[in-house]
């Protein structure tokens, strides 16, 4: 009763402050198994994200206990005379407020204690999970059966619905495709409040729309994720290059092996750029031994920049006696700097969960909850050398503020019908500037400086005609979104009309304005 009173009070306050003409009883009438909250702690948490650059407080937060709860809320929004928006929030790891809203209700998908736990089918090698499940929990539930998902993100404290709304990529993508290529079935609550099951064959437009769909067509309440036998251990290798074209040739050679037998290819191919000596042991993992520090100057770096190839080979303990030989054969085909090989060996779970260790270290130094002006780009293979010259050896200078990942992927592993957009070439690179802004007196670390640098990088691509696509995209006008989607825009907007005709969902992406309040700011 107290909550209902608070909720009514909060809604009335909102009506007065922003002029929203929502009938408070519409929310009060909502019968849910979970609960609607207007507690300051809940509203505060839903107003922030990992980017740390945006803030927007919702009207209320729904902690759902089931897909039906989500459906009831969205249906109420759809049928509401005056209208309100609904945004799913996974673990809030967006950068620019993509899961935030002001004129509506946030559905806090992750962290709900009441939803069904993951259910593994050993026979059919899949797991059914709640849309807000974190990948770390998906992993621990499948490992009980000796199984694991095939395709990952580098960091596992992200929700299934959140990464599937983007793509979900890591070093396995060259082989298995992104996470969205490894989903058999979804349950989705559309913008009309219908709860539908969709697959490649059934409600296929919704299935493809939602995968990489930035939350625009529905809220994913269940995903059926493909599994494989989980390896026990991982041989994790880093080797250095001073020449960019030798580095990319090796990376492209390694991803060309995707069709080979498991023993004849690595399982994970990533890499990163080192423009600043301090970054060799960057926050993603301290890897190179402090007793054996790598000096850029001693390695004859081309233009002051080094490139690190990062590869892994998974294995079962029963095959431990052949792993050295398998890795040795594969490494012989590569052209890295002699004696620049760094190897470690660890349990599979520790490898997958590596970034969390870095998170804990940064948290201990109060360096995790800082602004993160990240920029992620897919750069076509044909222009990656120009990007190197103009950005790594140009715009960045010799300073940066976080890891810069670079690795290629095979486009044929990405379903063409899904919503995500990639460059129009068979191979494209992810280039990820994972920046942390600091207020430590160094101008090159400030939010302003780094944001300007991101804009310079985007302008450089545009001026040089490099047809890069943003990953985890952020734009402020619909024209920019139309340019981003290119040929896919027609299908994207048609799907919006079909599945979320009143533009209720995920308005924090700033793609479509809600019909009930088109003049309101999008957040």
Active site residues: 93, 154, 270
Contact 384, 392 (CB under 8 A): no
- Rule CB under 6 A: choose which of 118, 161, 371, 373 binds ligand FAD: 161
User: Which residues between 92 and 111 bind ligand FAD (CB under 6 A)?
Assistant: 92-94, 98-99, 109
- Rule CB under 6 A: choose which of 34, 168, 193, 380 binds ligand FAD: 168
Which part of the chain contacts ligand FAD (CB under 6 A), choosing from 76-84, 163-171, 240-248, 414-422?
A: 163-171
Closer residue to ligand FAD, CB minimum distance, 191 or 390: 191
Closer residue to ligand FAD, CB minimum distance, 100 or 237: 100
- Rule CB under 6 A: choose which of 115, 330, 506, 511 binds ligand FAD: 506
- Angle among Cα 458, 461, 467 to the nearest 5 degrees reads 115
Nearest 10 degrees: CA dihedral of 507, 164, 49, 83? 20
Closest by alpha carbon to 105, among 52, 26, 40, 36?
Answer: 36
Q: Which two tokens stand for residue 232?
A: 């026990």
The DSSP line for 345-398 is: EEEHHHHHTHHHHHHHHHHHTT-SSS----EEEEEEGGGHHHHIIIIIIIITTT
Burial of residue 297 (number of CB atoms within 10 Å: 0-12, 13-18, 19+): exposed
Q: Least separation, in Å, of the C-beta of 326 and ligand FAD?
A: 26
Q: Least separation, in Å, of the C-beta of 153 and ligand FAD?
A: 3
Q: Distances from the Cα of 304 to the Cαs of 72, 243, 294, in angstroms?
A: 57, 11, 13
Closer residue to ligand FAD, CB minimum distance, 88 or 323: 88
Closer residue to ligand FAD, CB minimum distance, 22 or 511: 511
Closer residue to ligand FAD, CB minimum distance, 153 or 242: 153
Nearest 10 degrees: CA dihedral of 142, 216, 221, 75? 180
Handedness of CA 59, 61, 64, 70 (dihedral sign): positive
Q: Least separation, in Å, of the C-beta of 353 and ligand FAD?
A: 12
Angle between helices 478-485 and 489-499 (to 10 degrees): 120
User: Which residues between 474 and 493 bind ligand FAD (CB under 6 A)?
Assistant: none
For ligand FAD (CB under 6 A), the number of binding residues is 37
Which part of the chain contacts ligand FAD (CB under 6 A), choosing from 27-35, 152-160, 229-237, 306-314?
A: 152-160
Is residue 446 near ligand FAD by the rule CB under 6 A? no
For strands 306-315 and 342-347, give the pairing.
unpaired
- Rule CB under 6 A: choose which of 128, 154, 187, 500 binds ligand FAD: 154
For the CA atoms of the chain, what is the radius of gyration?
A: 23
Closest by alpha carbon to 108, among 164, 156, 48?
Answer: 48
Is residue 112 near ligand FAD by the rule CB under 6 A? no
Is residue 166 near ligand FAD by the rule CB under 6 A? yes
Q: Least separation, in Å, of the C-beta of 331 and ligand FAD?
A: 25
Q: Which two tokens stand for residue 371?
A: 């602004």
User: Which residues between 190 and 249 bind ligand FAD (CB under 6 A)?
Assistant: 214-215, 219-220
Closer residue to ligand FAD, CB minimum distance, 132 or 390: 132
**Exposure b/e, 424-435, CB count within 10 A at least 16 = b:** eeebbbbbbbbb
- Rule CB under 6 A: choose which of 71, 129, 158, 269 binds ligand FAD: 158
Closer residue to ligand FAD, CB minimum distance, 163 or 181: 163
In whole angstroms, what is the distance from residue 293 CA to residue 299 CA? 12
Q: Which two tokens stand for residue 256?
A: 């060309």
Closer residue to ligand FAD, CB minimum distance, 265 or 284: 284
Q: Least separation, in Å, of the C-beta of 389 and ligand FAD?
A: 26
Is residue 131 near ligand FAD by the rule CB under 6 A? yes
Handedness of CA 446, 281, 178, 226 (dihedral sign): negative
Contact 239, 148 (CB under 8 A): no
Contact 100, 47 (CB under 8 A): yes
User: Which residues between 342 and 361 bind ligand FAD (CB under 6 A)?
Assistant: none
Binding mask 25-64 for ligand FAD (x = CB under 6 A): ------------------------xx--------------
Q: Least separation, in Å, of the C-beta of 495 and ligand FAD?
A: 14
- Angle among Cα 193, 195, 199 to the nearest 5 degrees reads 135
Is residue 87 near ligand FAD by the rule CB under 6 A? yes
Closer residue to ligand FAD, CB minimum distance, 158 or 404: 158
Question: Longest C-alpha distance within the chain, in Å?
Answer: 71
Q: Least separation, in Å, of the C-beta of 123 and ligand FAD?
A: 27
Which part of the chain contacts ligand FAD (CB under 6 A), choosing from 18-26, 88-96, 254-262, 441-449?
A: 88-96
In whole angstroms, what is the distance from residue 49 CA to residue 91 CA? 8
- Rule CB under 6 A: choose which of 61, 147, 169, 352 binds ligand FAD: 169
Is residue 118 near ligand FAD by the rule CB under 6 A? no
Closer residue to ligand FAD, CB minimum distance, 170 or 242: 170
Q: What are phi and psi of 173, to 5 degrees?
A: -65, -30
- Rule CB under 6 A: choose which of 400, 436, 453, 509 binds ligand FAD: 509
What residues line the site for ligand FAD (CB under 6 A)?
Answer: 49-50, 87-94, 98-99, 109, 131-132, 153-155, 158-159, 161-163, 165-170, 214-215, 219-220, 472, 506, 508-509
């Amino acid at each position: 009763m107290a909550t209902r009173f608070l909720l009514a009070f909060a809604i009335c306050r909102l009506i007065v402050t922003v002029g929203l003409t929502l009938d408070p009883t519409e929310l009060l009438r909502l019968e849910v198994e979970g609960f609607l909250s207007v507690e300051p702690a809940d509203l505060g948490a839903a107003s922030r994200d990992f980017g740390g650059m945006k803030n927007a407080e919702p009207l209320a937060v729904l902690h759902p206990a089931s897909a039906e709860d989500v459906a009831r809320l969205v249906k109420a929004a759809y049928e509401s005379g005056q209208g309100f928006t609904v945004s799913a929030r996974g673990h809030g790891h967006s950068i620019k407020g993509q899961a935030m809203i002001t004129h509506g209700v946030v559905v806090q998908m992750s962290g709900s204690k009441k939803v069904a736990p993951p259910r593994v089918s050993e026979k059919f090698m899949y797991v059914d999970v709640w849309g807000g499940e974190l990948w770390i929990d998906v992993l621990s539930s499948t490992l009980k059966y000796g199984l694991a998902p095939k395709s990952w993100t580098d960091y596992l404290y992200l929700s299934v619905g959140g990464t599937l709304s983007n793509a979900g990529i890591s070093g396995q993508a060259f082989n298995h495709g992104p996470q969205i290529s490894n989903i058999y079935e979804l349950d989705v609550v559309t913008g009309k409040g219908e709860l539908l099951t969709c697959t490649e064959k059934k409600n296929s437009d919704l299935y493809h729309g939602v995968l990489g769909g930035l939350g625009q067509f529905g809220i994913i309440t269940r995903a059926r994720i493909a599994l494989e036998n989980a390896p026990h251990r991982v041989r994790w290798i880093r080797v250095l290059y001073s020449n960019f074209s030798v580095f990319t040739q090796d990376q492209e050679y390694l991803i060309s092996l995707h069709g080979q037998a498991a023993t004849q290819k690595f399982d994970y191919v990533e890499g990163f750029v080192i423009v600043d000596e301090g970054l060799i042991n960057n926050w993603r993992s301290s890897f190179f031994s402090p007793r054996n520090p790598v000096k850029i100057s001693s390695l004859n770096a081309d233009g002051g920049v080094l490139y690190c190839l990062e590869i892994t080979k998974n294995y079962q303990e029963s095959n431990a006696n052949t792993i050295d030989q398998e890795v040795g054969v594969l490494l012989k085909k590569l052209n890295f700097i002699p004696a620049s090989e760094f190897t470690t060996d660890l349990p599979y779970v520790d490898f997958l969960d590596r970034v969390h260790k870095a998170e804990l270290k940064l948290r201990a130094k109060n360096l995790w909850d800082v602004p993160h002006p990240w920029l992620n780009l897919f750069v076509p293979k044909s222009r990656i050398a120009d990007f190197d010259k103009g950005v790594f050896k140009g715009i960045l200078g010799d300073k940066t503020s976080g890891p810069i990942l670079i690795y290629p992927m095979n486009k044929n592993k990405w379903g063409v019908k899904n919503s995500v957009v990639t460059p129009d070439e068979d191979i494209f690179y992810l280039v990820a500037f994972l920046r942390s802004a600091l207020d430590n007196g160094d101008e090159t670390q400030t939010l302003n400086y780094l944001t300007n640098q991101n804009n310079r990088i985007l302008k450089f691509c545009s001026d040089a005609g490099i047809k890069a696509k943003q990953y985890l995209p952020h734009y402020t006008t619909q024209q920019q979104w139309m340019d981003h989607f290119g040929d896919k825009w027609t299908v994207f907007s048609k799907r919006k009309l079909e599945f979320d005709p009143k533009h209720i969902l995920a308005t924090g992406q700033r793609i479509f304005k809600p019909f009930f309040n088109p003049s309101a700011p999008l957040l």
